[in-house]
Chains A and B, each alone.
Chain A
């Protein structure tokens, strides 16, 4: 009895202190909230500028899956953002209307679930009063956040490496509603196109045998995965005069047991097997298991080979593997290699991948836009400026289409394909970027 009483008291005090701690924050923030809600309407006047960027600070918020199955991507993004912010602040912050501001980054975890990402975005905007929200690297979460962007016209929303086509379609339908939402990345349909062209090119070169035009897919059960299959089929229709999909296997994200699928494929005997995984382990497992069971098809991988440690973990098994998109060439592009070193310098055991760079560049794009626009308020022109930007980076040019999606093309963001040749990545497509000849797999 007594024990219970004490326990109850203990718990009550605990919760009380918790609530107390937050009540404090409530008090403070609701104090400021009054004025900020007051100002948010009259923000257009330059006087209120100082208020939102008070104390020479501009606040950036990020909604990321820092826990759960997608944490790998989420944490990569967080590291990229932190790196960029640290760098910018070291170099004296960013310039806006003559005076310089320091950047402050708020990263929040949404566990990869859309409803939480909405809560978190609301929190960032309402409580931390951020002026830019990096709205997730998962399309589903980004779509959820996209839905509230018109409620906060003063805030700029920009995604990190979301590939779903839906953004384009939705935005195209109603551009002025999503005037402050941007997706600085290409669509999965662009992936697909690249896939189609690559196959066409390789079979033309006689590197692969695509006579039966049979394709099998293993993709993970995410929007990106599923829509990628559609995109690839469409592209093959376009560039190879059609194809037959002998099997389209959808596995849960992060799954690592592909024996059954591989055996199935052996019986179906496709020309090409396309695999799309974001987590590295799925890719490694698949590659090892194919090598183990043995196959006579051509493997074309999406996304995962770029993750750090793929070659190390698969060893000889990945030799000759074709993969795309080679979003960043950390191996043969000096600048990108230098960037990789910077990441490792700040996060020694980071799992380097393209998300680091995309998020890193995301910060620079936004800060440039702020400098150009002379405001950190989306409605006062930040959104417009950001959308109109033509941003030259170490990894291609970011230019937004009218559907607020970055253009994918040889002169903008290149989707190049690479092959593993003696344990090294070599770009083999498109021709004008290739510095190695594709060779037959196995």
Chain B
């Protein structure tokens, strides 16, 4: 168990973690503003990869435009879903489970539509950048993984700056903290709902696009990632985006260490136990505000 071994472990953990982080951040964002849990979130991840796959293989497009188009496509789709299904349910003040069950229905629908459209076969997208680096011969690093890490970092930073620095970001935070008075500040919260929903769908799509070369594409890829996403956004403290991101990376690392220390079959169990342990010590999650809601 030398140093490079551990570096490799951490690296693989981080790569998995980035995916969790992006999904978790999206879910957290949605929770913060819309106060609902979007159980169809993993399906945007799935759609992202499928769009890319279709554009690359069927439409044989160049990579960059394909990526852009597929992200836009998912965002537009999410927007349509928001207007058609989510908004009518948000009309009532206070929230109950019905948005959850709606998104649940959506999940089943999208999975089976995907099965109908793209078939049962597991699709595979070629690496964006097919090279392998060996920095100081310490550990190996494929181009794809470098792309994943860098672009995730960039996107997350961009997201954070938007949230922290811009007018829109202030509006989003205000809405999530106190929707009623946000309105009195002149914020159109319906618009904010819409924007946050589409942004988080976009995040999911990006995650799907970045990771589909490493993990291949199938109609059910969203479900597992989504469960982890939920775990992560609880772990980070619900509605806390930085929290979700850090928790995501952390969870990835915990899992890969669990694999090396105990064994793959207990990987998820360890992840869940980790969450429960954290909740036991800090019921509002790692970075959650202590609120008695």
Q: A residues near B, CB below 8 A?
A: 66-69, 71-72, 74-75, 218, 221, 247-252, 254-257, 259-261, 263-264, 266-267, 279-281, 284-285, 288-289, 292-294, 309, 313, 349, 351
Partner of A263 from the list B12, B142, B215, B216 (CB cut-off 8 Å) is B12
Residues in A with CB closer than 8 Å to B127 are: 288
Contact of B112 among A67, A255, A260 (CB under 8 A): A67
The answer to whether B264 and A249 have CB atoms under 8 Å apart is yes
With A260-B260, A261-B259, A266-B8: A313-B215 Cβ-Cβ less than 8 Å = no
Question: Whole-angstrom distance between the alpha carbons of A248 and B266 in the complex?
Answer: 12
C-alpha gap A72/B121 in the complex (Å):
6
Is B13 in contact with chain A by the CB < 8 A criterion? yes
Q: List 30 A-B contacts (CB under 8 A).
A: A66-B120, A68-B220, A69-B220, A71-B120, A247-B263, A250-B264, A252-B268, A254-B218, A254-B221, A255-B224, A257-B15, A257-B16, A259-B8, A259-B256, A260-B13, A260-B260, A260-B264, A263-B256, A264-B259, A266-B5, A266-B8, A281-B215, A281-B217, A284-B122, A292-B140, A292-B142, A293-B140, A309-B124, A313-B216, A351-B120
Residues from chain B with a CB closer than 8 A to the CB of A260 are 9, 12-13, 255-256, 259-260, 264
Asked if residues A72 and B5 are in contact (CB atoms below 8 Å), the reply is no
Residue of B nearest to A259 (CB): B12
Interface pair B8/A263, CB less than 8 Å apart: yes
Check B1–A281 contact: CB distance below 8 A: no
Select one of B13, B115, B264, B268 contacting A71, CB under 8 A. Answer: B115
A72 near B122: Cβ-Cβ < 8 Å = yes
**Would you give the shortest CB distance from B268 to chain A, in whole angstroms?**
8
Q: Report how far A263 CA is from B257 CA in the complex, Å.
A: 11
Task: Select from chain A the residue with minimum beta-carbon distance to B15.
Answer: A259
Residues from chain B with a CB closer than 8 A to the CB of A67 are 112, 115
Minimal beta-carbon separation of A109 from chain B (angstroms): 11
| Listed residue (B120, B214, B221) with the most chain A CB atoms within 10 angstroms of its CB | B120
> Which residue of B122, B219, B256, B265 has the most chain A CB atoms within 10 A of its CB atom?
B122
B122–A281 CB distance below 8 A: yes
Bound complex: CA of A313 vs CA of B213, how far in Å? 11
How close is B123's CB to chain A, nearest CB, in angstroms?
A: 8
- Chain A, residue nearest B258 (CB): A260
Closest Cβ of chain A to B260, distance in Å, is 5
Task: Give A351 to B115 CA distance when docked, in angstroms.
Answer: 14
- Band of interface residues on B: 35 or more
B259 contacts A281, C-beta separation under 8 Å: no
Q: Scan residues 1-32 of chain B and give those whose CB is less than 8 A from a CB of chain A.
A: 1, 5, 8-9, 11-13, 15-16
Q: B277 interface residue, CB < 8 Å from A?
A: no
- B194-230 with Cβ < 8 A to chain A: 214-221, 224
Please indicate the chain A residues that have their CB under 8 angstroms from the CB of B216 in the complex: 256, 281, 284-285, 313
User: Are A254 and B124 in contact, with the CB atoms below 8 A?
Assistant: no
B132 contacts partner chain A, Cβ-Cβ < 8 Å: yes
The residues of A that contact B132 with a CB separation of less than 8 Å are: 292, 294
Q: Could you tell me the distance between the alpha carbons of A292 and B127 in the complex, rounded to whole angstroms? A: 11
Contacts of A261 in B (CB 8 A): 259, 264
Extra pairs beyond A260-B256, A263-B9, A281-B122 (12, CB < 8 Å): A67-B115, A72-B120, A249-B265, A250-B264, A257-B12, A260-B264, A263-B5, A263-B12, A264-B259, A264-B260, A281-B215, A288-B214
A281 contact set on B, CB distance < 8 A: 122, 124, 215-218
The 3 closest A-B pairs by CB, nearest first: A259-B12, A281-B122, A281-B216
A309 to B115, alpha carbons, bound, how many Å? 19
Distance of A256 Cα from B225 Cα, bound (Å)? 12
